[in-house]
Amino acid sequence: MAISVFDMFKIGIGPSSSHTVGPMRAAALFANALGEQGLLARVRRVEVRLYGSLSATGVGHGSDRAVLMGLMGEWPDSIDPATIAPRIERLLSEGRLHLLGRQAVRFDWQRDLLLLDENLPYHANAMILVAEGDDGVLWQNTYYSIGGGFVLDAGQAALGRLDGDASVLPYPFATGRQLLQLCREQAMSVAQLMLENEKSWRDEAQIRSKLLRIWAVMCECVENGLRHDGILPGGLNVRRRAARLYRSLQALEQPNVIGSTLSALEWVNLFALAVNEENAAGGRMVTAPTNGAAGIVPAVLHYYMKFNPAACDDDVVRFMLSAAAVGILCKINASISGAEVGCQGEVGSACAMAAAGLAEVLGATPAQVENAAEIALEHNLGLTCDPVGGLVQVPCIERNAIAAVKAINAAQMALRGDGEHFISLDRVIRTMRDTGADMHDKYKETSRGGLAVSYIEC
């Protein structure tokens, strides 16, 4: 299956790509299927069944609300996040769900939305949607949210298909080794090769426009995070820090990188905190490649663009194309889902993507880009996904800031070398996959182990 840069970077809403964006997309697909089959007017009841990690931490991630908004015909990239709460309140008060915004059916939250303590075979993030008519079941389907907003239905899961398409790319690659070989043979950078592949779907002007649109949403997310104070929703009473940190950095005599490495780190931290606080609040953001790790790529790129006087839109395009190449390798050879391999798959992959993107715009060779990604991912191996209360807040927000700094360091180390290194990116990705398979389920986005349990015991 061919995967695009726009599969790795999706405009959506918080707080989770696998638990919010994916379920909303799945429900919208289901509702649209009802319409396409001419079944919509015959529906009298809809039942939502959430399994595995979607059940264990779905309420904290807003999976229940996301599914209902998807059934109403909303999509993550176009919905106004501010409309969700009032529409859910209306549904609760009226007891009616408007499928695709048209067909009203009775909906009892307690009866029709089930959180089931069991797993389905293919993936930990599973859901079954059932539409019933007067004479029984009209249509039902099983969906798996496999990370980063990617969704498979039952048929695709049975075939092991990713949520991509069958496009034939001019330079297909499935491993880092193949990617480097193609770059050598074609005398291309990683970004150039990715751009040629992207032209299988759209022309260069469209690619550039869409990438800059994604960058604009990332910047808007940062700016929103720098403005908003207060307490994050969810009940943990986590206080937002980005706005306060921003004010303190602005008050410095030299609020930039000049003369102070520590000041530089604080700006990177700031941008990551801003994005992930907005994500935790359910705001508009970009999966990069997931929501839980959404602050890393924007923080590194935002810092480069803000403090490099020569930075331009071309750098944004090159950064994202190179970062996406690494994300694709992680996706197809391991996973970017915390419920499947732990946070090494989310924060680790995002850290590797950011390192690769930064190395690219700093003039790295393809071998150095691969080395930067390898260093970044290698030092996230074994990272568990253990969110307190099932919320993408603790330790997730700080974890993004730490990983953003780590990505910069990885790029710097790679640029000081010649691209030759002991462990390949492919081997590190395989190790991430194997480590995730060995990891106990309680450390994979279930809030049943690690820091989530330690918090309760304290």
Structure-token pair, residue 108: 């009892």
Tell me how crowded residue 396 is: count the other CB atoms within 10 A of its CB. Answer: 27
Tell me how crowded residue 248 is: count the other CB atoms within 10 A of its CB. Answer: 12
Q: Cα separation of 190 and 184, whole Å?
A: 10
433: left (phi over 0), alpha (psi -120 to 50) or beta: alpha
Predicted confidence (pLDDT) at residue 333 exceeds the cutoff of 70:
yes
Give CA 314 to chain center in angstroms. 24
pLDDT of residue 252: 75
pLDDT of residue 324: 98
Q: How confident is the model at residue 458 (pLDDT cuts 50, 70, 90)?
A: very low
Rank 15-19, 163-167, 262-266, 324-328 by mean pLDDT and report only the highest.
Answer: 324-328
In one-letter notation, the amino acid at residue 97 is: L
- Go through the domains of the chain in sequence order and give each one's CATH number: 16-159 (3.30.1330.90), 176-457 (no CATH)
For 399-419, what is the mean pLDDT?
Answer: 97
